[in-house]
Amino acid sequence: MLMGMIAGVFGSISGAQPVLAASKASDSAWNLSDDAWRKRLTAEAYHVLRNEGTERPFTSSLNDEKRPGNYHCAGCDQPLFSSQAKFNSGTGWPSFFEPLEGGVATKVDFKLIIPRTEYHCSRCGGHQGHVFNDGPRPTGKRYCNNGVALRFQPA
């Protein structure tokens, strides 16, 4: 507790900005207040998109979605993935081998101590999931996405 108080005082003196749970929005129109995000999203989507939470595996109906179309960010509706890049990873989360161009941005996440690559919607900053190097060809990547952070738009 003492360390937290010291860090808080130091942060106030240095003018440091508070750390955001979600990544910063690249589009200023999506720099919404916490209340605005809570009104816009379901409780589960808010937990994942704004607090970098993780949904339980095998709970998303998008795991079994096989129609052609695009997967959009549930926060701002930006298209992130094509159904053509979707594959069954067996992990319990919708998985893709590549995002649509400009759809996602990445950062390093140390929440499990070892570094992982977290990705988020490049427009609103909403957390989507993590990318791993165990996916299929042609990229070898597995973008492991929280289903609640997506909205499917059929072709």
The residues that are catalytic are 144
Strand order of the sheet with strand 104-109? 86-87, 95-96, 142-145, 127-132, 116-121, 104-109
Quick one: DSSP state of residue 23?
Answer: P
Q: Tell me the sheet residues that pair with 119.
A: 106, 129
Residues contacting residue 62 through CB under 8 Å, at least 6 positions apart: 71, 94, 147, 150, 152
> What are the structure tokens assigned to 42, written together?
């379901």
